[in-house]
Amino acid sequence: MTVPIQKNERAIVYIEDLTHDGNGVAKIDGYPLFIQGALPGEKVEVHVLKTLKNYGFAKVVEIIEPSPDRVEAPCEYFKQCGGCQLQHLSYEGQLKWKQKMVQNVMQRLGKIDAPVLPVKGMEHPWSYRNKAQIPFAQGEEGAIAGFYKTKSHSIVDMERCLIQTGEADAVLAGLKGELTKLGLQPYNEASHSGQLRHVVVRKGRATNEVMVVLVTKSRKLPQKDAVVGVIQRLVPNVASIVQNVNGEKTNVIFGDTTITLWGKDTIEDKIGDVRFEISARSFYQVNPEQTEVLYKQALDYAGLEGNECVIDAYCGIGSISLFLAQKAGHVMGVEIVSQAIEDAKRNAELNGFTNTYFEAGAAEEVIPRWYKEGKEADVLVVDPPRKGCDEELLRTIIEQKPKRVVYVSCNPATLARDLRILEDGGYKTQEVQPVDMFPHTTHVETVCLLTRK
List the chain domain ranges: 10-65, 96-123+287-452, 131-271
Domain 10-65 has CATH 2.40.50.140: yes
Question: Mean per-residue pLDDT for 75-100?
Answer: 95
- Indicate if the pLDDT at residue 391 is higher than 90: yes
pLDDT of residue 380: 97
* pLDDT of 1 higher than 70: no
Say which amino acid occupies 448.
Answer: C
Evaluate if residue 332 carries a pLDDT over 70.
yes
Average pLDDT over residues 39-61: 96
Residue 20 — very low, low, confident or very high, per pLDDT cuts 50/70/90? confident
Query: Averaged over 199-213, what is the pLDDT?
Result: 97
What pLDDT is recorded for position 152?
83
pLDDT at position 120 is 98
Cross-strand partners of 270: 275
Q: What is the mean pLDDT of residues 29-56?
A: 96
Q: Which residues pair with 309 in a beta bridge?
A: 330
**How much is the average pLDDT of 259-266?**
96
Per-residue pLDDT of 272-330, as tens digits, reads 999 999 999 988 899 999 999 999 999 999 999 999 999 999 999 999 999 999 999 99
Enumerate the H helices of 238-379 as residue ranges: 288-302, 319-325, 338-350, 363-372
18 strand-pairing partners: 24
For strands 196-203 and 210-216, give the pairing: antiparallel
pLDDT in tens, 395-447: 999 999 999 999 999 999 999 999 999 999 999 999 999 999 999 999 999 99
Other residues' Cβ atoms within 10 Å of the Cβ of residue 404: 21
- Nearest-5° Cα angle at 37, 32 to 38: 55
pLDDT score, position 367: 94
Known catalytic residue at 75:
no
| CA 10/CA 377 separation, integer angstroms | 59
Q: How far apart are CA 80 and CA 98, in angstroms?
A: 23
pLDDT score of 222: 85
Tell me the one-letter amino acid at 138. Q
pLDDT digits (tens, 9 = 90+) for 95-153: 999 999 999 999 999 999 999 999 999 999 999 999 999 999 998 888 999 999 887 88
Q: What is the largest CA-CA distance in the chain?
A: 67
> Which residue among the candidates 81, 84, 161, 410 is catalytic per the annotation?
410
Determine if the pTM surpasses 0.85.
yes
CA 201 – CA 212 distance, rounded (Å)? 5
Q: Do the domains 10-65 and 131-271 sit in the same CATH topology, yes or no? A: yes
Percentage of the chain exceeding pLDDT 90: 92
Tell me which residue of 417, 411, 415 sits closest to 386, measured CA to CA. 411
If you average pLDDT over every residue of the chain, what do you get?
A: 95
Top CATH class of 96-123+287-452 equals alpha beta
pLDDT value at 253 more than 90: yes
192: phi then psi, degrees, rounded to nearest 5: 55, 40
Q: What CATH architecture does domain 131-271 belong to?
A: Beta Barrel (2.40)
Q: What is the pLDDT of residues 161-199, one digit of tens each?
A: 999 999 999 999 999 989 988 989 999 988 999 999 999
